[in-house]
Structure 1
Amino acid sequence: MSYENPTIFVSMATGTQGGALARQLRGLGWNIRATARDLHRPEAKTLQDIGVHLTPGDWDDEDALPFIGYTANLLDFEAAHRRAQRAVRLARDAGVTQAICTTALGAAMLEEGKAPPIPPTPLFAQHFASKRRVEKAVEEGGFDSWTVLRPGFFMANFLDPKVRFRYADVPEKGQWANVMTPDMTLGLVDHEYIAKFATAAFQDPARFNGIRAGLMTEELPVHEMLDQLAEAIGDGRALKAHFMTDEEIDKPIAEGSWAVFSRERCVRYMDVLANTKELEVLVPGLTTFK
C-alpha cells in the first residue's frame, strides 16, 4: 500500500461502522474498495456516489473478497473465524501491509485478569470466543501492522431502522427492558468515533500497531440516556427504563433461548474494559450521546 495514495479495503461498508469509515477515508481523498451483495441498495449507491469502488459479492465469495471481513453467525460460531482466516490469506497474498479488525468489547473478558464478577452465559461466552479467534487471525496474519478495535454499546442502536429490529419496545411502548441496574452506567460508543479511531490508525500504522482498544465515548445511567433520547425525539413522550427482574433474566437462560443475548448480566461490568481518558489522549474527540 502506498501511503502517498493509499488504497483501503473496508469490509461491510454498507453497514454502520463500515459506512462511517468509508466516508471518512474518502474525505481524505484515499482510494476505497468494498464489496456489496446488491449494488442497487441505497447504502451501496451512496458509497458509489462519493467514489467508493464496489464489487458485487459476499464473505463466502473468494473472487469478490480481497481482504478482511467477518460476520457473526449464531448457528455456527466457527464461521467468523473461517472467514477471517480466508480474508487474511487473501489479503496477505495481495500484499496488504496493515489490517484493522473491529470485534466487540466483550472479547476483552477472555484476557487474563479481566473476567467480570458475573461470567457470561455459555452462549455469550462462545460468541466472545468467536470474536477473539477473529482477532487472533488478524494478529497472527503476518501484517506489518495490526490494530484491534472493541466497541461498546452502539449509540446508533436507537436509530431507525435498527431500533425497530432490536429494541422495538422503545418506539412502540416508550420503554427499554434492559439488564442493567439503576445505579450502573452503560458504556456507549459512537460509530463515527470508531471510524475516526480506525482512520487515525491507518494514518499512523507504527503508533497503533499491536493495540487492542476498548472503545467507549461516554458512560451513562440508562435512565439518563433515555431522557436524552426522549428530548432528542422532541414529541413530548417520555421513555422509561425497565430494569429486568432476576426471573425475567433467568428464564430465557434456562430455556437456552437466544433472548439470553439481551439478558447478560456480565455487560454490567464492561465499563472497566475501556478507558475514556486514555482514548481522549490517543484519538481526541469523544462523542457524547446527546
Structure 2
Amino acid sequence: MTNSKHPILVFGATGRQGGSVVKALLKAGWPVRALVLDSTKAASLQLRNAGVELVQGSFEETHVIRSAMKDAYGVFSVLPANLTAENEVRHGISIADIAAQTNISHFVYSSGASVGSELTGVPRFDAKPRIEAHVRELAMTTTIIRPMIFMEMLVRPGLGLDEGRLMSLIRPEHSIQLTAVEDIGRFVAAALADKPRFGSRTLKLASDRLTGRELEVIISEAAGRPITYKRFPDDVLAANTDLAHMAKSLEDGPLAEQVDLKLMREINPDLLTFRSWLAGNGRKSLDEALRTSA
C-alpha cells in the first residue's frame, strides 16, 4: 500500500462507479473521503457508517473541493451522466486543476470507452476526450480509465426481456465487451496501489466479451426461459443519435477495440463474467427487467 495513512478523495461516491471505488478502497485498507451533495441522505449515511469521511459540497464550491483534497494521496474523479456537456467539461477540468494545484500524488479520471482519437463535433460525445486532453497536460501523475459498456445496460426494463427477447446494439454474430461496475472499483484500487505501473496510462476496462448469440444463451439460462437476441432495427438506430453512434463504434470504432481480458484478470483476479454477474449483483436487475415492460 502506498501512503496508506493519507486518504483517497472519491467523487460520485453515492453512485455506481464511485460507490464501487469506495468499497474496493475500504477493502484494501485505504482511508476514504467523499464529496457528497447532502450528508444527511441515506446513501451518504451509509458511507459514513462504513467509515468514509464525508465532505458536503457541490461541484460549484471549488473552495470545498480544495479543502477536501488537503492531505489526500489520490483522487478518483467521475462525473454524473445528467450533466450538460458544457458543465461536464467545466467541472472535469476544474477538479483536475485543483488536484494538480494541491499536489495530489495520483489522480484517476473515469472517462468513456467510446472516446476515440478524433473529436466528433457532437458536444456530449466530445466532453470526455476534452477532459482527458486537459488532464494529460497537468503536472501530476494521472491514470485514465475507460470502462466498456456496463452490464446493467443489457438488463434494463424496456429492452424486451419481459416479452422473451433482448434488444441491443450489436449484430448477433458480433461481440460486445462488457464491464461489471464492481470491477471498476477493483481496477482503481489496483492503480492507486501501484503508481509506477499505472501512472500516465490510459486503460480500457472490460470484464467479459460475448457475441449476441452468447448473450442469448446466458440470459436464457439465467431467466429460466428462452430469450431471443435481436439487434435494434436500422430505423430505430437512425432515429436516435446516441444509439447510432454507439452501434457504429461497436462495429468499427473505439468500442470495437479488443481489451486484453488476460491482462484484466491479472490486474483483478476477481474479474466477473456476465454469467457470474447475473448470478450475483445483476440478479435483481434481471428479475425486474423480466417482469417490466417499456
**Is the structural similarity TM-score above 0.5?**
yes
Which residues of 2 match residues 122-137 of structure 1 at below 5 A?
Answer: 123=122, 126-137=123-134
Aligned counterpart, 1:248: 236
The CA deviation at 1:31 is 1.3
Are 2:111 and 2:128, in contact at CA under 8 Å, matched by a contact in 1?
A: yes
Query: Match for 2:16: what amino acid?
Result: T
**Distance 1:273-1:210 versus aligned 2 partners, 3 A rule:** farther
Deviations 1:264-286 (A, max 9, x none): 32223423252223333444443
Query: Match for 1:77: what amino acid?
Result: A
Aligned counterpart, 1:28: 28
Are 2:88 and 2:127, in contact at CA under 8 Å, matched by a contact in 1?
A: yes
Which residues of 2 match residues 145-160 of structure 1 at below 5 A?
Answer: 145-158=141-154
Aligned counterpart, 1:15: 15
- Name the stretch that deviates more: 219-228 or 68-77: 68-77
What's the Cα RMSD here? 2.8
Query: Match for 1:265: what amino acid?
Result: K
Report the number of matched residues.
265
Out of 107, 117, 130, which is 1:99 matched to? 107
Any unmatched runs of 5+ in structure 2?
70-74, 276-294
Mapped partners of 2:100, 2:240: distance in 1: 43
- Name the stretch that deviates more: 236-245 or 211-220: 236-245
Aligned counterpart, 1:117: none
Out of 82, 90, 99, which is 2:98 matched to? 90
**Distance 1:75-1:153 versus aligned 2 partners, 3 A rule:** closer
Query: Match for 1:288: what amino acid?
Result: T
**Distance 1:142-1:158 versus aligned 2 partners, 3 A rule:** same
**Distance 1:59-1:75 versus aligned 2 partners, 3 A rule:** closer
Query: Match for 1:16: what amino acid?
Result: R
Mapped partners of 2:121, 2:180: distance in 1: 28
The CA deviation at 1:182 is 0.8
Mapped partners of 1:251, 1:85: distance in 2: 32
Aligned counterpart, 1:188: 178
SS of aligned partner of 2:103:
coil
How high is the TM-score relative to the length of structure 2? 0.79
Query: Match for 1:202: what amino acid?
Result: L
Deviations 1:205-240 (A, max 9, x none): 11111111111121111242243234334xx34333
Are 1:180 and 1:265, in contact at CA under 8 Å, matched by a contact in 2?
A: no
**Distance 1:45-1:30 versus aligned 2 partners, 3 A rule:** same
Are 2:173 and 2:213, in contact at CA under 8 Å, matched by a contact in 1?
A: no
SS of aligned partner of 2:166:
strand
**Distance 1:239-1:63 versus aligned 2 partners, 3 A rule:** farther
Are 1:84 and 1:137, in contact at CA under 8 Å, matched by a contact in 2?
A: no
Deviations 1:223-260 (A, max 9, x none): 42243234334xx343332212323322334xxxx565
Aligned counterpart, 1:110: 117
Mapped partners of 1:52, 1:285: distance in 2: 24
The CA deviation at 1:44 is 2.1
Are 2:4 and 2:30, in contact at CA under 8 Å, matched by a contact in 1?
A: no
- Is 1:61 the counterpart of 2:61? The answer is yes
Query: Match for 1:104: what amino acid?
Result: G
Aligned counterpart, 2:195: 205
Aligned counterpart, 1:114: none
Mapped partners of 1:289, 1:152: distance in 2: 13
Aligned counterpart, 1:221: 211
Mapped partners of 1:59, 1:19: distance in 2: 18
The CA deviation at 1:63 is 3.5
The CA deviation at 1:287 is 1.8
Mapped partners of 1:156, 1:73: distance in 2: 15
SS of aligned partner of 2:240:
helix
**Distance 1:28-1:134 versus aligned 2 partners, 3 A rule:** same
Deviations 1:162-216 (A, max 9, x none): x24xxx2345444332221011011011122221111111111111111111111
SS of aligned partner of 1:146:
strand
